[in-house]
Structure 1
Amino acid sequence: MIKGINVYYIYFMLSQVIWGVLPAFWILLRDLSPLYTLASRIVWSSVLCFILIMHKHLLSNLTGLCHQRKQWPYIAGACLLVTINWGAFIYAMTRGFILQASLAYFINPIVVIFFGGLIFHETISLMQKLSMFLAASGLVLAFCLYGQVPYLSFIICLSWASYSLLKKKIVLDSQVSVFIESFSMVPLSLLFICFSEMHGTGAIGTFHGLQWLLLPATGIVTAIPMMLFTAGVKGVPITVSGILMYCSPSITLVIGLLSGEVMTRPMLVAFIFAWIAVAIYITGIYRTMKQIHSREGVQAIRSHTQEIHK
């Protein structure tokens, strides 16, 4: 049992560490336009996902989509949102806005909770409401004091939070769903790649030798951490995963600073409020799980007492 739990923790931590250090990989592609890199990521992610689908014999799930027309609008929305998210993230990584991407994923869980309460009418605790208020206050205060808004943080965070919630409506296998979402954009991506190469703005003439391996690697670095996360999250308690999920943006923050980005005053204000909000958010998770365990313990004692009296 302990060995199994350790494996889940390893998978989960590896996914967070890989996501955290990925900015170092995307920086290697900064000589290309962000749109070209995005198009390459879409194509190679589709190839890798299709190989996995064939390996796991999920092709029947893919062909059965024709009869699930109610799923099409949700899949189309997910396709649009994940494309926007990938594009904004790649732009941030390759154009010197890594800190904004880090901030986006610090506040992302809080935004997901807000959307969950707003759209799905899920219960929001007092601690969660306080964390949402503080995270929003930091962004508003940064704008009021300095007149600057981390717009990329907004785009990355809102697109990923919306994508995460929309995925709740999609009943397909996760790998099949991800493949369709990326494959839907492959025709446009291939056209853009061809257009860029014809006009001398693509990888030809820019990349040489082993640099060409970076393009198929965009699919690998997209799929591997997602698979590790999916495998690990099954065996990691919510209280622990809620804390460990902040390893990724923390590592990204460090990489952003090491790459030469400067923590401006507006960003510092936003980060300080975000960190406080995250601390309150994690405290709320811990208290909730502690109450659940306490109730389960009381129930177990009551059941045991009833058995004795019988």
Structure 2
Amino acid sequence: MGLFYALGAYLSWGLVVPVHFRLLDGVPAWVILGHRILWSSVFVVLLLAALRRVRLVPQRRHALLIVSALLIGANWSLYLWAVQNGRMLDASLGYFINPLVAVALGAVVLGERLRPLQGAAVGIAALGVAVAVATAGTLPWVALALAVSFALYALIRKLVPIDPILGFCAETFLLLPLALGYLAWLAPASASVSALDGRTLGLLLLTGLSTSVPLIWFAAAAGRLKLATLGLLQYIAPSCLLVLSVLVYGETLETSRAIVLALTLVALVLYAVDAVRLSRADAAARPQVPLTPDPQRCPG
């Protein structure tokens, strides 16, 4: 199930979320962020009530959840800042670099080891990232900050053994006072609820759903998969975003980005082949159960 949760999260981030926020062009980024947190809080409370999972988070996990909340809040904020300030190249680089940071954290902090074919996949993916960084011409600090913040968030969610929905609820409520404060006192008057048209308000309400569900799926996947696996699957989201921008929004796919995409897909294929081989080896090592019953054990 971990693989399905991860695919759901990354496909949502690569396809659903970009289309959603593209429909909100003209709304200030910080207003979108505030609404994301507000309506995510409402959605997750209703979800917890429906599932009857309302219970307190153990106190020993409070500190780590505070850190994870600040990390995901910083990641969202930096991404929106990049969009608003014409730094989309840095933002896209961040999502390509992030899986490599996750793989490194998995090896250094959790002691995860890559098999040879997995190592080759990481190397090919790293080559693609190197091409992108070289194309940028300068040190992409925004990209690195995005990559590191989300990789650290993934690490903490891996280390905190807590129900994914409950953990996301705790993180959201930790950010809620900041969101409410901004919307109440700092947001422009043109972005107040009373000033928004029905379509825009409806799209802002839906940010709670498009934000909450992928993060809950991601948290569920983080508890079931190796951090290295999560890192390599992460390439699905920026790859989908590149395809979406070309096929739907008519953007030109530059040669450098085409190379990054091609090398990323090769890396994913290698990793998938290795995973299939490992799965078959594990199946072959299990004791074989006879397909026909032993006559001596038949009743009567």
Query: TM > 0.5 between the two?
Result: yes
- CA offsets 1:156-193 (integer angstroms, 9 cap, x no match): 44333321221122222211110110111111111111
Q: Is the 8 A contact 2:8 2:217 kept in 1?
A: yes
Question: Runs of 5+ in structure 2 lacking a partner?
Answer: 224-229, 296-300
Structure 1 residue 149: Cα displacement:
5.7
Q: How many residues align?
A: 287
1:214 to 189, 203, 220: 203
- Find the residue that maps to 1:73 and give its secondary structure: helix
- CA offsets 1:22-53 (integer angstroms, 9 cap, x no match): 21111122212222211110111011111112
Change (3 A) 1:76 1:155: same
Q: Is the 8 A contact 2:157 2:222 kept in 1?
A: no
Q: Is the 8 A contact 2:93 2:133 kept in 1?
A: no
- CA offsets 1:52-94 (integer angstroms, 9 cap, x no match): 12222222x22xx3xx332122101110121123334445667
The answer to which of 275-284 and 84-93 deviates more is 84-93
Cα RMSD over matched residues? 4.0
Change (3 A) 1:285 1:155: farther
Change (3 A) 1:34 1:260: farther
- Find the residue that maps to 1:121 and give its secondary structure: coil
Q: Is the 8 A contact 2:154 2:222 kept in 1?
A: no
Structure 1 residue 244: Cα displacement:
8.5
Q: Is the 8 A contact 1:18 1:225 kept in 2?
A: yes
Q: Is the 8 A contact 2:97 2:144 kept in 1?
A: no
Identity %: 25
- Find the residue that maps to 2:191 and give its secondary structure: coil
Counterpart Cα distance in 1 of 2:218 and 2:140: 28
Which amino acid counterpart does residue 23 of structure 1 have in structure 2?
A: P
- Find the residue that maps to 2:36 and give its secondary structure: helix
Give the TM-score normalised by the residue count of structure 1: 0.74
Q: Is the 8 A contact 2:97 2:143 kept in 1?
A: no
Change (3 A) 1:181 1:12: closer
Q: State the partner residue of 1:237.
A: none
Structure 1 residue 99: Cα displacement:
7.3
- Find the residue that maps to 1:123 and give its secondary structure: coil
2:240 to 243, 246, 251: 251
Which amino acid counterpart does residue 76 of structure 2 have in structure 1?
A: W
Q: State the partner residue of 2:288.
A: 300
Change (3 A) 1:243 1:125: closer
Q: State the partner residue of 2:39.
A: 44
Q: Are 1:288 and 2:283 counterparts? A: no
Q: State the partner residue of 2:16.
A: 21
Give the TM-score normalised by the residue count of structure 2: 0.76
Question: Runs of 5+ in structure 1 lacking a partner?
Answer: 235-240
Q: Is the 8 A contact 1:99 1:256 kept in 2?
A: no
Q: Is the 8 A contact 2:10 2:236 kept in 1?
A: yes
